[in-house]
Each structure stands twice: as structure tokens, then as C-alpha cells.
Amino acid sequence: MDLELKGKVFIVTGGGSGIGEAISKGALQEGANVAIIGRRLIEDEVLLDFLQGYTENYIFIKTELTNIADCEVAVAKVVAKFGRIDCVVNNAGRNDGIGLTHGNPEAFQESVNNNLTHYYSMAHYALPYLKKTQGNIINIASKAAVTGQGNTSGYVAAKGAQMALTREWAVELIPDNIRVNAIIPAEVYTPLYDSWIKTFANPEEKLKSITDNIPLGKRFTTSEEIANMALFLSSSKAAHITGQHLYVDGGYTHLDRVI
């Protein structure tokens, strides 16, 4: 299926690793242009493997996403490079373990800021360009906002807000024909996930305890499966889908009764 993304311009926050990397890679493979936005500056000499073969189709923009001015500058750089914006994928964030018991109000506030504020900032500054292209916004949220997880109040509060903003923006932007949707992953084995797993005394045992509870295939969702949904939602094939929370999780969130 041709998703008709050739020449489109994607902004992907956290687009150099994990789920963000898979989305960036998939968009490039579809012929789109990608702006990878994040804290880490990736120099040409250590170019990520998935960018090999693409010369003018991407740009790295080092951005402190919690800094509102940085977000405004990043959007301006994207437009200066590519002349348009068709899709903003809000993805950057981290499950930082700031809980109610093991945390404090200051740490909670910082966690929410790290995981939420830039979703609004990037959408806000990209909005004039999205109106011109009748583009779309995709928010990467988390099943933890639906089920809870324990000891991650800041992250869950941010993810729940992302899901609420998805519906709010979808309503607000209908007159502009801008679609807004959220993808809800559950267990996706990313580098950050790997770092968390390695904190356990028996990582393999912990992994098995998780995959045993994933109904479809008893396996993790891949980053590529999240990316496939994002690319579909960004395309004209999904032209009548907005305000939706789409779960790509092997049934983990809602089908626990089949375990």
C-alpha cells in the first residue's frame, strides 16, 4: 500500500532512538522528510545506521524540549529546511519512576514538565504550518495512563494528559481539517526498557513474567509495529480518523481475561 507520504515533512521528537527511531526510519523509507528533535546531538561521523543513504531528507535539531523557546526555534529550523510541516509526532519522554511514596512535589512537577509540556509547545508552534497542509498530530502515550503501574505518578499524569489533549485538540482543530490521534503502546522493548530490565537481579525471569501476560503471541510489541500505526495515521488512508486512542499492544491492556 502506497501511503502517499513522499515529500511530506515529519517532526519526530525523540526521533533518534526507540519508538521514535522506528517512526523516523519508516517515514524516510516512505519518501518523507524527517526532522529529528531531541536533547542529544548526533554528529555526522556517528550517523545512525538507519540514516545511511538519506542525504537531504533529514535534519537533526538539538533541542531542550522543556525550554519553550527551544521548541519555537526547532520548528522554525524545520520550516527553513523543508518549507512545510505535515505531521508532528510527539514521542519524547521517559518513565522516570517518580511515585507518590518515592518522590516529592518538586520531582513530580519536573517529571510532568519533562514528559508533557513539549507536547503542547511543539504542536503550538507547528500549528500555523499544519493548517496550511491540513496535516496531523500524533501523540505517543502509554497504557500506564489507563491501567496504572505503581511508583510513576509523574509519567502517568503526563501520559493521561496526552490522551486528554488528543481529544481536546481533535475537537478544536476539526475546522482546520487537522487530525489528532494518540497511539497507546504497552510493552515495547526499547533501549530505555532494556536499561530498566537490567536493574532486576534476574532480568530474563522478569522478561518472561512480562511476556507471559501479553495475550497475542506472548511477546513484546516491536517499535516497528508502533511506527506502522503512526505512518498509517499520518497518511491520507486514515483521512477520517481523529480523536482516537489506538492501542498497539498485543491485547495487553484490555484482554487480560485470555491469560
Looking at residue 44, its pLDDT comes to 45
Marked catalytic residue, from 119, 155, 247, 252: 155
Looking at residue 46, its pLDDT comes to 47
d(CA 233, CA 40): 27
Whether 120 is a known active-site residue: answer no
Q: What average pLDDT does range 175-186 have in this prediction? A: 98
Asked if residue 185 has pLDDT above 60, the reply is yes
Asked if residue 43 has pLDDT above 80, the reply is no
Q: Supply the pTM of this predicted model.
A: 0.95
Homologous superfamily in CATH for domain 9-188+223-258: NAD(P)-binding Rossmann-like Domain (3.40.50.720)
Q: What ranges do the domains of the chain cover? A: 9-188+223-258
